[in-house]
Amino acid sequence: MEDHEKKNESITLKKSTMWKLLTLVLAVLLLISIYTGGFGYGKIDTTNTVIQPTDQGQQEQFPTVSVDMKKLVSDDPFEGKENAPITIVEFSDYQCPFCSRFYAQTLPSIIQEYINTGKAKLVYRDFPLPPNIHPEAQKAAEAAECSGKQGKYFEMHNKLFENQQILSEVNYKLWATQLGLDSDKFNNCLDSGETANEIKADLQDGTNVGIQGTPGFIIGKTDGNSARIISGAYPFTAFQEVINSQL
């Protein structure tokens, strides 16, 4: 009987010790959380905006590059007035989810505030990632280029982003018909790879000016020799600051 009581006392003691250790650990973790702003990679300020540890200011975040803007846009399709003072060159991939996010969430505000008001024009250039990453990116880009040969580049551009989950050559041809294109001309263009070299040139030009992923943007004065780079699907406010700084 005495041995049994000692055993119970020992178990109770061990449980008590365990709970004290657990309480101590939780208290330490709580203090760490308070002084570091949480257990994530970023800190959260009083406005609940996530601030990344690598944020070193706009100038470093959106660096300036030397580039002839007129040569960079060449004869690529654009939205807005041709003589708009600011040119936004977008290098993008139709299968890229971040590019789709920019199209759906940020582009409408850019169109409303800058393109429709004549302050800027948007030039679209292709930057398809390799087939092992985005197998439909190249042909989707060709579909847009083939549509452009019949005057409906951005109509196909919009179709591609709005149907990103079902990109396929069968659908490109279906959408071309829906857009009222000459089906035979479109199909021949797409099947032959007629526009592949144009896309290759876009990819090379993007690489030359420092584009490393999609979406990537070069924003500068239309007749200027320098511009700013935005790399990624940033919110409208980031574009607003960069554009306004050059107007």
| Tokens of residue 16, six digits | 């008590």
Task: Tell me, yes or no, whether 200 and 238 share the same domain.
Answer: yes
Looking at residue 75, its pLDDT comes to 83
Closest CA to 183 of 152, 154, 158, 161: 152
Distance CA 45, CA 147 (A): 47
Residue 72, domain member (yes or no): yes
Same domain, 37 and 151: no
Phi and psi at residue 74, in whole multiples of 5°?
50, -130
In a domain, 49, yes or no: no
Pick from 165, 74, 66, 159: nearest CA to 124: 74
The whole-angstrom separation of Cα 96 and Cα 80 is 24
Q: Are residues 6 and 118 in the same domain?
A: no
Q: Note whether 130 and 15 are same-domain residues.
A: no
Q: Which pLDDT value is given to residue 44?
A: 23
Residues spanned by the domain of 171: 56-244
Residue 50 covered by a domain? no
Average pLDDT per block of 10 residues along the chain, 247 residues long: 46 50 49 33 25 39 93 91 96 97 97 97 96 96 98 97 98 98 98 97 95 95 95 95 95
Spatial distance between the Cα atoms of 162 and 160, rounded to a whole number of angstroms: 6
Does 79 lie in the same domain as 15? no
Whole-model pTM?
Answer: 0.75
In a domain, 51, yes or no: no
7 assigned to some structural domain: yes
The alpha carbon of residue 133 and the mean position of all alpha carbons in its chain are separated, in whole angstroms, by 15
Provide the number of structural domains found in the chain.
2
* CATH number for 170: 3.40.30.10
Alpha-carbon gap, residue 89 to 145, rounded angstroms: 16
Report if residue 10 sits inside a domain.
yes
Residues 19 and 90 in one domain: no
| Domain identity same for 127 and 150 | yes
Helix (H, G, I), strand (E, B) or coil at 79: strand
* Co-location of 32 and 91 in the same domain: no
**Residues 23 and 75 placed together within one structural domain of the fold:** no
Indicate whether 26 and 65 sit together in one domain.
no
DSSP state of 111: I
Are 97 and 40 found together in one domain? Answer: no
Question: What is the number of residues in the chain?
Answer: 247
